[in-house]
Amino acid sequence: MKLRLGTRGSRLALVQSSWVADALRRLGAEVELVPIKTSGDRLAGVALADFGGKALFVKEIEEALLDGRVDVGVHSLKDMPAVLPPGLVIATYPAREDPRDALLTPSGGEIEDLPRGARVGTSSLRRRVLLLGRRPDLVIEPIRGNVETRLAKLESGQYDALVMAQAGLNRLGLAPPHARPLPTEDFLPAVGQGILAAEVRQADREMLELLSRLDDTRTRMEALAERSFLAALGAGCHTPVAGHCRLQDGTLKMSGLVASLDGATMLRASVSGPVESAEALGRELAEELLARGAGPLLRAADEPRG
């Protein structure tokens, strides 16, 4: 079987997509990587929340899928909206990488060890409010660019610290000397963090069958719970939302967070349940947070800002 695999052109995206391509080749497929420049890549100098959020990293790949230019799209799951375009489905979730965020500093230490007023680079609303919740004195500054560019900015002294996904560092084979993984219990990850998703046309039964052979059951259950949580919240790209599910001893345990943009209000909740109820568990967690007042936070975040 010959297939065209659509991917972003960044080094990290190509590494991730090459892993999927190599796995498919081992199954006998002939795979061509098709780099696609997304809106998120073209808007490298702006705040993504002002232009549609991380979904801009998948839009053009999904368009290429729908019009038949590619057969598979590989994404970081955390970049994908909770609702897919009609006619597309996620065919497989390979085994999850480390879901944690990592704190990177020139000299090591924890968040509490940063000097007062330290400049921390991140363009994530979620990371921003979690940092300010721990250290209101920190100065959170936006940062864009690929992983290597961000590390260079830290090394040159433009920032005192960075917060990045540990999964990206691992996949690139990077081990900065003072990277500290942040425990998920304290620093809740983004929905889908550390998970790859292979998206295909729903009618393409042959592709669905092939890709199903790369599926990791544990990762699928965690992904379904987390995406169900995001969909039930109806959260937009302007809202600081976090959600992380883990399968432990046969039970799914999930935690979620919704915060105000300034981090002054931070609502947390946790639920647990059997593996077969993954999507119901995500909805239950969303309903718990909505009952605690998440609705007004979600609506306020999506109001136009002048």
Q: Give me the active site residues, please.
A: 79
Distance between CA 122 and CA 125 in Å, rounded? Answer: 8
C-beta of residue 155 within 8 angstroms of C-beta of residue 106 = yes
Q: Residue 6's beta-bridge partner residues?
A: 34, 73
Rounded distance, CA 161 to CA 119, Å?
Answer: 7
Structure tokens, 99: 């879901």
Rounded CA gap, 299 and 239, in Å?
Answer: 9
Residue 61 near residue 5 (C-beta atoms within 8 A): no
DSSP assignment of 82-142: SSPPTTEEEEE-PPP----EEEE-SS---GGGSPTT-EEE---HHHHHHHHHH-TT-EEE-
Q: Who contacts 108 (Cβ-Cβ below 8 Å, separation ≥6)?
A: 177, 178, 180
Of the candidates 94, 95, 68, 71, the one whose C-alpha atom is nearest the C-alpha of residue 205 is 71
- Amino acid identity of 191? V
CA distances for 16 relative to 77, 121, 153, angstroms: 12, 24, 24
Give the whole-angstrom CA distance, residue 127 versus residue 121.
10
